[in-house]
Every structure is written in C-alpha cells, then in structure tokens.
Amino acid sequence: MANEISRNQSPSGESKRKDSTNDYPMVELREVGDFVQKIWEKGLQSEAMPVVAKACGYSAPTSTGFYRRMAAAKLFKMIEPQSARLTHLALDYVKPDSDDAKTRALREAIRSVPNYHPLFEKYTGNKLNASILANGITRVANLSDDCALICAKVFIESLRFAGELDADFALLASAKNGASDAAKTVDKEERRQSAVSPLIPNPAEGDWETYYLTLDATRKRRVVVQAPPAVTPSELKRIQDWLSFQLLVEEPPPK
C-alpha cells in the first residue's frame, strides 16, 4: 500500500535507528578470542553452523550471543567468511609460534575492522570517552543510542585488551595506521633494553628507590621498579592500570 509505513521508518517518515549492526563489532576482542579458542579446542572448524552453535553453548546460529560473536570474529578477521574456519590471525592468537605473535595478532585484528579506521584517525592521542564515541557512531551509522554505546564500549575494551591505550585510556599514537616495521623493531628493542637495563633516574630530580620482585629465581625472572618512596592512592591505581596492559598475561603451559 502506498501509505504503508516501512518497518525501518518511523511514523514521521524518518529512517528508524537500528538496534543491532554488523558494521561494528558488538562483542569485544577478548570475548572473541575466547570464542575462537573454543572453536579450536573443540575441533569445530569444519562443522556446520548449527553444530558449532550448540557446541559453544547456544541453541541455534540465530541466537543473539552466537550471532554477534560470529559477526565480530569476522570483522576482526579471526574467522573466515561463510564458515567457522580460523584465519591466520586467530591461529596466531590461540597457538602463537613466537613471543610476540599473540600481541601482533590482536593489534592487526583491531585494524581489520573498516569502520574503526576513522576512529583511529580522529581519536589518536585523545582520552576515549564511550558516550562521545557513541554519539559519533550514531551519527554515522544511524544506530540507536543503546546500540551505539555498546559499539563504543567494545571499541575501547578491545583497544585496551590489545594494549593500544595508555594508563589514562588515551589512544596511543602507534594505533593510528599501524607502526612501520622499522618503528616496531626500534620500539621492541627499546623495550628489551629498558627491561634488562632500567633507566636510572637523575638524583637531582628527587628521591628514588628501587624495588625488586623475583618471579622465578632459577630462570632469573624478576620485576624491577624504580619509583619515589611514596605515592598517592590515585597514583598507585594508575600504576596498576598501566601494568595491566603493558604486561602480556599468558596461561602457563600444562604440565
């Protein structure tokens, strides 16, 4: 009928804002990593989607939780289109073959989402605010406020998981277009040098103390911290937050 209102339009004739999207991940990267890990461990890569869904704890492929995880995994380029087969990025995450393979896979996955590129360009160097991000996503993608906020929070948490945010939740400059191989090599070497030869603060700048925490004496693994003798509670929280994404946490191999 000529006067029939489309399901995607409001009574005023305006396009109805969507409550879901396949253009932005609606599940954060950490959960996607757990999802592809389960597919790998259960040997589901060649199975039909109904089998994959049930093996992952969902009633059907159309279940919201399963559907959103699959959509996000494909946006992050961790699962191949039209299947449950893992990509090289997912394999680098679940079965890394080098010390930095997992970290590189996460950072490449973040940059594989086309609609994240404008966000990198706009917010690099800035502290991320979920509400502000959601406003921008809503204007671009015509999403409902709730849906856009989910997408914004997923973006922030995925960046944090991939180590792309500093202690103040500002988007690191290296996330803009991906650092060049040369820059990555220099950065890696600088981190290695700082790990084995910590910088000694200038005594003229104030009192400093050095603290040692032995993780494994037989393997000579320890943490060295140089800091003022006293810090405020807020400074301690910043240090804890900073360590939480600077250190790559991995489960020890089964004995």
Q: What is the percent of the chain with per-residue pLDDT over 70, rounded to a whole number?
A: 72
18/222: higher pLDDT: 18
| Number of structural domains in the chain | 2
- In angstroms, the CA 234 to CA 217 distance is 32
In this prediction, residues 13-25 reach a mean pLDDT of 85
Same-domain pairing of 43 and 117: yes
Domain membership flag for residue 64 = yes
Query: Beta partners for 221?
Result: 216
Same-domain pairing of 123 and 36: yes
The DSSP call for residue 209 is E
Residue 160 clears pLDDT 80, i.e. is over it: yes
Residue 69 clears pLDDT 90, i.e. is over it: yes
Tokens coding 222: 């320890």
Confidence at 238, pLDDT banded by 50, 70, 90? confident
List pLDDT tens digits, range 176-204: 444 444 344 434 444 444 443 344 444 44
**Residue 254 CB-density burial (10 A; 0-12 exposed, 13-18 middle, 19+ buried):** exposed
- Domain extent for 204: 198-246
Domain membership flag for residue 50 = yes
Same-domain pairing of 55 and 160: yes
Which pLDDT does position 201 carry in this prediction? 47
Q: What b/e readout covers 61-86, taking b as 16+ CB neighbours within 10 angstroms?
A: eeeeebbbbbbbbbbbbbbeeeebeb
Cα four-point dihedral sign 212, 215, 217, 219: negative
**Residue 44 CB-density burial (10 A; 0-12 exposed, 13-18 middle, 19+ buried):** buried
Same-domain pairing of 113 and 155: yes
Mean pLDDT lowest among 15-29, 43-57, 225-239: 225-239
Same-domain pairing of 166 and 40: yes
Alpha-helix runs per DSSP H in 130-232? 130-141, 145-161, 181-196
Contact in structure between 81 and 74 (CB atoms under 8 Å): yes
Which pLDDT does position 240 carry in this prediction? 75
Domain membership flag for residue 41 = yes
Domain membership flag for residue 192 = no
Same-domain pairing of 88 and 141: yes
234/205: higher pLDDT: 234
Domain membership flag for residue 180 = no
Domain membership flag for residue 233 = yes
Residue 140 clears pLDDT 80, i.e. is over it: yes
pTM over 0.75? The answer is no
Same-domain pairing of 237 and 130: no
Mean pLDDT across the chain: 81
Same-domain pairing of 132 and 207: no
